[in-house]
Structure 1
Amino acid sequence: MEEQQITKKERWELKRQEKLERQENGAKSRLIKRFLLWALVLAGTAGLIFGMVKLGGSEPDQSAILINAVSPSDWTKGNKEAKVVLVEYSDFQCPACAYYYPLLKKLSQDFGDKVSFTYRHFPLRQHINARLAAYAAEAAGKQNKFWEMHDLIFENQTKWENRGDAEKVFKEFANSLDLNADLFKNDLDSKEIKDKVENDLQSGVKSQVNSTPTIFLNGKKIEVPPNYDELQNIINEAVKNNP
């Protein structure tokens, strides 16, 4: 009888040890998966920061020049008489453009009347809501709220980028800006606004734009750096050379 009880105890102890081993192996497996996940996140972040300008297309040709000079029909902020002129071709649905949006906004604030900043539309074919977003910004512009809508669209990109009812989101943005809802709705679908966006796009094609964001500084395409400090240095050099 005693021998049978010992056997049961041994069997119970063996099962307990097996259970502990399974738990330990499970913990190790979860730790490995977590490590791999963080490695992928870090790799993705690095790729986003250092590969920004390649998201929209191929490597920009730095020898390209701006064919269409800035005109009154462009959306420009800052000193329009400034000797340093920055023109950005951008896509509201482009992740890289959303990354550079706050950098360029800060540049505009930091350089004040020393630099003028112009925004032009370059909606990429693969971004299903990019044109509609451009139309929304232009429609807001008809009510003198282009830059306000521009900021809202970029700051809330994840809320509308892949939605089938993105127009509803843009109408909500318009409402938050106190725009006339009927005018906004009509302008959103107007030929005038669609032509404006298409003209921006074609002017970019003429200037060899093939990715977003693409930036021209005093008419010459520049390589877009991965951070604010490097971008600021480029602008500082341009300001220094154009007193």
Structure 2
Amino acid sequence: MSNRGKEILIWAILVIGLGAIVFGIYGAVAQPGEMNGDVSNLIAPITADDRTKGSEAAKAVFVEYSDFECPACGYFYGMIKKLEEEKGDAVRIAYRHFPLAQHRYARVTAQASEAAGAQGKFWEMHDILFEKQEEWSKSTSIQQNLLGYAMEIGLDVDQFLVDVQASDIDEKIDRNVAMGTAQKITGTPSFFLNGKLIQFRSYEELKQLVEVELSK
């Protein structure tokens, strides 16, 4: 093969490889739920065990199975936050833990969020974990990151250190995982609206799905 032919072949391989990477990112970020295989279309109803916000009388109930270290979950976080800000109590939002084994800090950050929840600040820790995901996910001292966040949101740090190791927190996370596994969820994020699996690629698509439910 001539040198010119070799150059063309190398560039062709690079282009194909880049296309595969872009497709992979698009699939992981833009298609929540779709990568999870045969996911059950009906979700377990919200219970007192769930972390929720919004009115219990809301006509639209939005449930997310998520992992704080999941990049796609971080991508969709902003959309869900905007939905909450725009719709307020008209939408009830629930967060369920589904830490993935390939994410080294997924479990400990789930534990940290629940330890914050024991002091009434689950959502504050939830928000800071997603907003600073890029920072702590690359950390070599995750405990220091989490202690810093605990102080930043005003937790009693001594109590936080006790609660983060509590067996009941581990058991709650395990219950969330078991619930998701029973519905054949294998990846994150997975979103449900009024009990049914949904997919959306943009905030406008999410908003339209919610408004359909609110209009019923």
Match of 2:129 among 153, 162, 165: 153
Mapped pair 1:180 → 2:156: yes
Distance change (3 Å), C-alpha of 1:108 and 1:150: same
Larger radius of gyration: 1
Task: Report the counterpart of residue 135 of structure 1 in structure 2.
Answer: 111
Task: Report the counterpart of residue 113 of structure 1 in structure 2.
Answer: 89
CA deviation vs aligned residue, 1:154-200 (integer Å, no higher than 9, x gap): 01111111434212101110011121111000111110111111111
Task: Report the counterpart of residue 53 of structure 2 in structure 1.
Answer: 77
Give percent identity, aligned residues only.
Answer: 39
CA contact (8 A) 1:57 1:212 kept: no
RMSD, aligned CA: 2.5
Q: How does 1:85-96 map to 2 (within 5 A)?
A: 85-96=61-72
Whole-angstrom CA distance in 2 between matches of 1:230 and 1:49? 16
Task: Report the counterpart of residue 19 of structure 1 in structure 2.
Answer: none
Query: What is the TM-score normalised by the length of structure 1?
Result: 0.76
CA contact (8 A) 1:93 1:130 kept: yes
Which runs of 5 or more structure 1 residues have no equivalent in the other structure?
Answer: 1-35
1:211 deviation in Å? 1.3
More divergent stretch after superposition (101-110 vs 56-65)? 56-65
Mapped pair 1:232 → 2:216: no
Task: Report the counterpart of residue 65 of structure 1 in structure 2.
Answer: 42
Match of 2:178 among 185, 202, 205: 202
CA contact (8 A) 1:92 1:123 kept: yes
1:237 deviation in Å? 1.1
Distance change (3 Å), C-alpha of 1:63 and 1:168: same
**How many residue pairs are counted as aligned between the two chains?**
203
Distance change (3 Å), C-alpha of 1:121 and 1:236: same
Distance change (3 Å), C-alpha of 1:54 and 1:239: closer
CA contact (8 A) 1:78 1:116 kept: yes
Whole-angstrom CA distance in 1 between matches of 2:134 and 2:146? 13
More divergent stretch after superposition (109-118 vs 179-188)? 109-118
Whole-angstrom CA distance in 1 between matches of 2:158 and 2:88? 35
CA contact (8 A) 1:53 1:214 kept: no
Which runs of 5 or more structure 2 residues have no equivalent in the other structure?
Answer: 1-13
Distance change (3 Å), C-alpha of 1:168 and 1:194: same
Whole-angstrom CA distance in 1 between matches of 2:99 and 2:116? 17
Distance change (3 Å), C-alpha of 1:54 and 1:181: same
CA contact (8 A) 2:151 2:157 kept: yes
Distance change (3 Å), C-alpha of 1:230 and 1:112: same
CA contact (8 A) 2:41 2:197 kept: yes
Task: Report the counterpart of residue 17 of structure 1 in structure 2.
Answer: none
2:62 is paired with a residue whose SS is: strand
Which protein has greater RCO, CA pairs closer than 8 Å, 6+ apart?
A: 2
Whole-angstrom CA distance in 2 between matches of 1:65 and 1:85? 13
Match of 2:74 among 78, 98, 106: 98
Distance change (3 Å), C-alpha of 1:66 and 1:55: closer
1:54 deviation in Å? 6.4
Kindly provide the amino acid, as one letter, of the partner of residue 195 in structure 1. E
2:211 is paired with a residue whose SS is: helix
Distance change (3 Å), C-alpha of 1:239 and 1:65: same
Query: What is the TM-score normalised by the length of structure 2?
Result: 0.85
